[in-house]
Amino acid sequence: MIKNDLFIRALKGETVDRPPVWMMRQAGRYLPEFMALKQKYDFFTRCRTPELASDITVQPIDIIGPDAAILFSDILVIPQAMQIEVEMKDGIGPWLPNPIRSQAHVDQVIVPDIDEELGYVMDAIKMTKEKLNDRVPLIGFAGSPWTILCYAVQGQGSKNFDKAKEFCFTQPEAAHQLLQKITDTTIAYLKKKVAAGVNAVQVFDSWGGMLSPVDYQEFSWKYIQQIVTALKEETEVIVFGKGCWFALQEMANSGASALGVDWTCSARNARYLTGGKITLQGNFDPSRLLSPPSDIKSMVKQMIDEFGKDRYIANLGHGILPNIPVDNARAFVDAVKEYKMG
Ligand code: CP3
């Protein structure tokens, strides 16, 4: 049904002529077409208006040509739906005026009815599917419970999420209750996304690497595993843990279809830790897209040679940066499409 199903085939571990490619945060600020809409509508208006969200989702497909689309939205619509106030401030990023710091506040956090609070996401998915017209698969996503807790407790982005960690380490019971509420909401949300038409889901554990390997098990992995277990029969699940190479072995046995890796972990190490049995996704340094296009092309070829063309999805090791020239992003995608072995 989907004309270009390379991405799904790679997730299922099938043999392919070349790996599929997409870029994390591919809908965004490096595209002039996105900036034009950003001038007119604030961030959450773009997320909440299916017409806008679906247009933004399709922009990179038309302009750059990756093998999968990712729905334009944000991981922070989940805390919003749980009645935690979230704003997006220019120059600052996410801003939560009432960060969670106590058991009493955790008690107030609700597990919402998804259709009531996040029906606009499902509408955006349906509209995007129409605009994509089965050209490429559509990816849905959510943040990991730990990464959502980071924002809910810290109240904004941070270099070390010290307040989030302090909350977990001084009030572990309250922290675990909050993580479980986020997990329950996320599972219901992702199931609705699958029902609305997404072809795969990715869990972004952007701040998992802030935790030690032991704390990672307790405060992050335990909850991601619940999500994977709940979703794996219904769709392909990708887990991307930034800085979480230490957990790859466990992740490989979780039931996920693929694991994302960042650029600090070599292909060889990632393959070794995962026993060569699971699809890996990554791991081009996003800053390397600032290199001249000819350098990007040779580095992409080398990256694919190292991961191998099968059980592999070419991607960046984290989101694309706003200062990347469009031609360089296109060179990245083209290099994967032109890949030949040898
Ligand atoms: O990948 C895509 O193209 C789909 C869209 C997408 C956005 N956010 C749009 C967005 C996705 C997948 C996300 C996920 C997200 N959001 C993550 C996990 C991935 C990652 O990068 O680690 C996180 C941590 C967030 C939280 C968030 N949203 C931050 C920290 C910021 C501000 C920092 C920044 O990059 O500006 C956002 C805002 C945001 N989300 C923008 C976009 C395009 C930029 C702001 C804008 O467009 O006005």
Nearest alpha carbon, ligand 1 atom 12: 25
Half-sphere exposure of 170 (CA within 13 A, CB side): 10
Whether 174 shows a pLDDT value over 80: the answer reads yes
pLDDT for the residue 1: 87
Mean pLDDT for 222-239 is 98
Pairing between strand 200-205 and 138-143? parallel
CATH of domain 20-278: 3.20.20.210
**262 CB contacts (<8 Å, ≥6 apart)?**
209, 242, 243, 245, 282, 283, 317, 318
CA distance 146 to 164: 9
Mean pLDDT for 181-203 is 98
Percentage, residues of the chain above pLDDT 90: 98
Pairing between strand 87-89 and 93-95? antiparallel
CA distance 192 to 88: 25
Percentage, residues of the chain above pLDDT 70: 100
Instruction: Give the Å distance between the CA of 191 and the centre of ligand 1.
Output: 22
Q: Report the chain's C-alpha Rg in angstroms.
A: 19
Nearest alpha carbon, ligand 1 atom 36: 93
- Find the residues whose C-beta lies inside 6 A of ligand 1: 24-29, 38, 43, 70, 72-76, 88, 93-94, 141, 143, 157, 204, 206, 319
CA distance 241 to 59: 26
Whether 341 shows a pLDDT value over 90: the answer reads no
Whether 342 shows a pLDDT value over 80: the answer reads no
Nearest alpha carbon, ligand 1 atom 1: 25
> How sure is the predictor about 266, in pLDDT bands with cuts at 50, 70 and 90?
very high
Residue-wise pLDDT for 300-325, tens only, equals 999 999 999 999 999 999 999 999 99
278 SS3 class: coil
Give DSSP secondary structure letters for 206-275.
Answer: TTGGGS-HHHHIIIIIHHHHHHHHHHTTTSEEEEEETT-GGGHHHHHTTT-SEEEE-TTS-HHHHHHHTT
**Residue 268 CA: distances (Å) to CA of 245, 274, 279, 297:** 12, 10, 13, 20
Nearest alpha carbon, ligand 1 atom 5: 72
Say how many C-beta atoms besides its own lie within 10 A of residue 213's C-beta.
11
Mean pLDDT for 36-50 is 96
CA distance 307 to 298: 15
Give DSSP secondary structure letters for 96-108.
Answer: -SS---SHHHHHH
Instruction: Give the Å distance between the CA of 172 and the centre of ligand 1.
Output: 28
Mean pLDDT over each residue of the chain, to the nearest integer: 97
Burial of 173 (0-12, 13-18, 19+ CB in 10 A): exposed
pLDDT for the residue 317: 98
pLDDT for the residue 252: 98
What angle (nearest 5°) sits at the alpha carbon of residue 339, between those of residues 334 and 2? 70
pLDDT for the residue 283: 98
> How sure is the predictor about 212, in pLDDT bands with cuts at 50, 70 and 90?
very high
> How sure is the predictor about 336, in pLDDT bands with cuts at 50, 70 and 90?
very high
First to last CA, the chain: 32
Instruction: Give the Å distance between the CA of 74 and the centre of ligand 1.
Output: 6
> How sure is the predictor about 254, in pLDDT bands with cuts at 50, 70 and 90?
very high
